Amino acid sequence: MIRGLYVAGEGMSARQKAQEVLANNLANLNTSGFKADRPVFQAVYERQIYRWEGIGSTPIGTLSAGAILSTTFTDFQAGALQTTGNPLDVAIEGQGFFAIQTPQGVRYTRQGAFQLNAEGTLTTREGYPLLNAQGQPIRVPRGTTPQIGEDGTVQVNGAPIARLQIVQGELVKSPDGYFVGNPAPVANPRLVAGALEMSNVNMVREMVNMIELIRAYESHQRVVQTHDETLGRAINDLARI
């Protein structure tokens, strides 16, 4: 009986963590360049169950001890494009990430909302410089506005001054909200200037997944209640005189 309690409890805990993942996705419904996370459940602790037969035991099968949230994987599907008209907003069509320099090292992002800082360097909204194909920040002359072409070239007054670094590879989310990994350059990137990539969170999907989670959670709760009742009967009523 106790085993069932823990299995149900574990299930509820896993669903709760999955709910947190969903809540984070929904919170980022409007975050440009955000990639949704999907919770992955895994059945665990498969144990052999034996039947005690006096002088030995016979295996009668396996019993899983429930499910845990084993990992979350990031869904890298492209989000919809939103035209903003701002020449420093860039979206990547197809695969690829921008490279930026943060104090913790090189990071990657799909969020192309760039601006010029006081020295004329192209940076993200937080001030981290955007890197060119050689891994260096891109600086434009004071007072000019760069134009970002479809293939990633940055032009000032018609003359190309740099090429954006667009990379693709196995990337994972890092705690600072960007992606980290060891990607390789993309051969023919396709960029769209004047547009931003929206979050790829699909509200309908998240709501449906949430419905499933809630119902599963409630079913586990019923299981816990049933175990509790049965235990109560065993403890309180069986030996009633």
Residues that bind other proteins in the complex, under the rule CB under 8 A = 202, 204-205, 207-208, 211-212, 215, 218-219, 222, 225-226
Q: Which is nearer to other proteins, 156 or 216 (CB)?
A: 216
Residue 23, SS3 per DSSP: helix
Among candidate residues 185, 173, 188, the one with its CA nearest the CA of residue 99: 185
Closest separation between CB of residue 39 and other proteins, Å?
A: 16
Closest separation between CB of residue 51 and other proteins, Å?
A: 28
Closest separation between CB of residue 80 and other proteins, Å?
A: 8
Closest separation between CB of residue 223 and other proteins, Å?
A: 9
Query: Residue 85: what residue type?
Result: G
Q: How far is CA 197 from CA 64, 78, 137, in A?
A: 43, 8, 22
Q: Which is nearer to other proteins, 117 or 225 (CB)?
A: 225
| C-alpha radius of gyration, the chain, whole number | 27
Q: Which is nearer to other proteins, 174 or 202 (CB)?
A: 202
> Torsions phi, psi of 165, nearest 5?
-85, 115
> Torsions phi, psi of 193, nearest 5?
-85, 150
Asked whether 186 and 93 are in contact (CB, 8 A), the reply is: no
What tokens appear for 113 in the block?
């909302």
Q: Which is nearer to other proteins, 157 or 230 (CB)?
A: 230
What tokens appear for 225 in the block?
């209640």
Closest separation between CB of residue 221 and other proteins, Å?
A: 9
Q: Which is nearer to other proteins, 180 or 192 (CB)?
A: 192
